[in-house]
């Protein structure tokens, strides 16, 4: 992939434009070399994966950095997408963080919203703090 080490609200646009997944028959999202992914970029990557899956595409996300794999596990990105995306290496599918979801108020977690009616509960989950 392009030499992008950080995927954030600015660089994710360049990354997606380079990848061009909706015009090219791209089935691999190569995150090799990426050292940091912001929550904004996680949401955009998740949205792309869901859109491509709706088109019937089988997507593989390649992750070479163990720290990035750990963050994606802790943020819920992997558990949210593992039913529609393959991860390479497969050890990225480590479920050891699933029991910790919601326990770290500093962690912005990826959560799939099935219906609009689930949104108020998600927005109010930390309102007692």
Q: Which residues of the chain have pLDDT under 50?
A: 1, 127-129
| Closest to 62 (Cα-Cα) out of 18, 27, 32 | 32
pLDDT in tens, 69-80: 888 888 888 888
45 three-class SS? helix
Cβ atoms of 80 and 49 closer than 8 Å: no
Percent pLDDT > 70 in the chain is 68
> How high is the pLDDT of residue 100?
55
- Orientation angle between helical segments 39-54 and 11-19, nearest 10 degrees: 20
Instruction: Tally DSSP H helices, then E strands, for the chain.
Output: 5, 5
* pTM of the predicted model as reported, rounded to 2 decimal places: 0.72
> How high is the pLDDT of residue 4?
87
Report all structural domains of the chain as residue ranges with CATH numbers, in order of start.
Answer: 6-123 (3.30.750)
> How high is the pLDDT of residue 95?
57
């Amino acid at each position: 992939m392009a030499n992008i080490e950080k995927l954030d609200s600015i660089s994710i646009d360049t990354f997606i434009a380079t990848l061009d997944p909706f015009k090219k028959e791209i089935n691999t999202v190569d995150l090799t070399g990426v050292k940091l992914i912001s929550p904004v970029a996680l949401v955009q990557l998740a949205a792309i994966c869901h859109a491509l899956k709706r088109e019937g595409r089988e997507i593989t996300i390649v992750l070479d950095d163990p720290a990035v794999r750990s963050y994606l596990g802790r943020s819920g990105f992997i558990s949210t997408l593992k039913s529609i995306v393959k991860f390479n290496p497969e050890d990225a599918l480590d479920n050891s963080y699933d029991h910790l979801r919601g326990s770290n108020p500093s962690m912005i977690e990826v959560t799939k919203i099935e219906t609009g009616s689930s949104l108020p509960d998600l927005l109010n989950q930390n309102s007692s703090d």
